[in-house]
């Protein structure tokens, strides 16, 4: 390996990184690259029956179990779920996190999204991209010489602008392990999001959830149930980004890919020419 990449994935909640870029993460880790997940909230309102400290601790444990599968660090910032603000104090937290990890690539939500925490995360990271290089902003944490490359995770929102994929990644070979990661987030995939089926379907069509009462009881059946819904969701990503998939994998391979994750490179991070894309996504074919 010519250079070890450092990839920082920043989500709003303790499952967002796993869901949106868990497949890519597994491939980076398999090649020996360093990846860190960050959740900017503790997830303490993301449930219909429990909340506060007990839920925050439960979601922290779920995140650490997922992190163990991918062999990475998973940091949870202790901000209440639903109260994330793109203000200066929180921007300073994000700047510190980025500077301390010194990433080559940062991945986060886009600033336009159905969830206010997702939107706030996108704005916070976008605003931090410039100030990570400003020595007198957060002066006790050494600044970076160059801003990292910034990428946004896939979404289907069109206002004010739609997601335009720069790169789409074949996740078929690591899909089962990605399901294992999401399987750790029991409070979400088998309880909260199952109950919120209509919201999830209307907002981003993330997963084809059903009523909570229909979620299987056994661990094996639950995982199969989850895999089916995730396969459908990331099959949609592959189909929606098929032209981009084919661009990177060729017509024959690209047409056969069943699940994918996609990234839109943002102009707010360090700009890179197209010929450098494979440097940051080294699992792409030549």
- State the pLDDT confidence band at 209, using cuts at 50, 70 and 90: very low
Is 215 a domain residue? yes
Q: Output the pLDDT for position 23.
A: 98
What's the whole-number mean pLDDT along residues 141-166? Answer: 96
- CA dist., res. 99 & res. 259, Å (int): 33
Residue 34 pLDDT > 50 = yes
pLDDT digits (tens, 9 = 90+) for 38-59: 999 999 999 988 899 999 999 9
**In sequence order, what are the residues at sequence separation of 6 or more whose Cβ sits closer than 8 angstroms to the Cβ of residue 173?**
none
Q: Output the pLDDT for position 214.
A: 78
What's the whole-number mean pLDDT along residues 5-18? Answer: 98
- State the pLDDT confidence band at 193, using cuts at 50, 70 and 90: confident
Q: Output the pLDDT for position 2.
A: 60
Residue 197 pLDDT > 80 = no
What's the whole-number mean pLDDT along residues 135-147? Answer: 97
CATH classification at residue 159:
3.40.50.10320
Q: Output the pLDDT for position 217.
A: 87
Q: How many domains does the chain have?
A: 1
Is 1 a domain residue? no
Q: What is the pTM of this model?
A: 0.93
Residue 123 pLDDT > 80 = yes
What's the whole-number mean pLDDT along residues 151-169? Answer: 96
Q: Output the pLDDT for position 5.
A: 97
Is 188 a domain residue? yes
What's the whole-number mean pLDDT along residues 247-271? Answer: 97
pLDDT over 70 percentage in the chain:
93
In degrees and rounded to multiples of 5, residue 104 shows phi and psi of -85, -35
Integer angstrom CA distances of residue 13 from 148, 160, 171, 195: 22, 23, 22, 18
Is 285 a domain residue? no
What's the whole-number mean pLDDT along residues 73-102? Answer: 98
Is 209 a domain residue? yes
Average pLDDT, rounded, for the chain:
93
Residue 106 pLDDT > 70 = yes
Residue 200 pLDDT > 70 = no
Give residue 161's domain range: 6-280
pLDDT digits (tens, 9 = 90+) for 238-254: 999 999 999 999 999 99
Is 182 a domain residue? yes
What b/e string do you get for 77-96 counting C-beta neighbours within 10 Å, with b at 16 or more? bebebeebebeeebbbbbbe
The torsion of the CA quartet 80, 111, 19, 185, rounded to 10 degrees, works out to: 10
Residue 272 pLDDT > 80 = yes
- State the pLDDT confidence band at 1, using cuts at 50, 70 and 90: very low
Is 24 a domain residue? yes
- State the pLDDT confidence band at 203, using cuts at 50, 70 and 90: very low
Is 158 a domain residue? yes
For 230, the token pair is 């995730």
Sole residue written with tokens 């050494």: 142
Sole residue written with tokens 């029991």: 186
């Amino acid at each position: 390996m010519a250079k070890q990449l450092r990839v920082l994935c920043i989500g709003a909640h303790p499952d967002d990184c796993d869901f949106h870029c868990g497949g890519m993460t597994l491939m980076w880790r398999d090649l020996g690259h360093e990846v860190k997940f960050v959740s900017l909230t503790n997830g303490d309102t993301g449930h219909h029956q429990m909340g506060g400290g007990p839920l925050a601790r439960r979601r922290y444990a779920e995140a650490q179990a997922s992190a163990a599968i991918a062999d990475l660090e998973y940091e949870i910032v202790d901000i209440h779920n639903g109260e994330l603000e793109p203000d200066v104090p929180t921007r300073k937290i994000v700047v510190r996190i980025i500077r301390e990890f010194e990433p080559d690539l940062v991945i986060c939500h886009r600033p336009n999204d159905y969830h206010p925490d997702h939107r706030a995360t996108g704005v916070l990271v976008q605003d931090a991209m410039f100030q990570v290089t400003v020595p007198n902003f957060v002066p006790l944490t050494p600044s970076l010489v160059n801003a990292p490359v910034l990428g946004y995770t896939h979404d289907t929102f069109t206002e004010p602008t739609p997601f335009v994929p720069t790169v789409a990644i074949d996740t078929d070979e690591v899909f089962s392990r990605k399901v294992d990661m999401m399987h750790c987030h029991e409070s979400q995939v088998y309880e909260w999001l199952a109950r919120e089926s209509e919201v999830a379907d209307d907002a981003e069509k993330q997963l084809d959830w059903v009523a909570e009462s229909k979620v299987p009881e056994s661990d094996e059946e639950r995982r199969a149930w989850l895999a089916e819904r995730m396969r459908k969701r990331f099959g949609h990503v592959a189909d929606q980004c098929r032209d981009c998939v084919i661009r990177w994998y060729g017509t024959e391979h690209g047409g056969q890919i069943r699940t994918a994750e996609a990234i839109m490179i943002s102009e707010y991070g360090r700009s890179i020419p197209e010929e450098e894309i494979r440097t940051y996504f080294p699992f792409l074919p030549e």
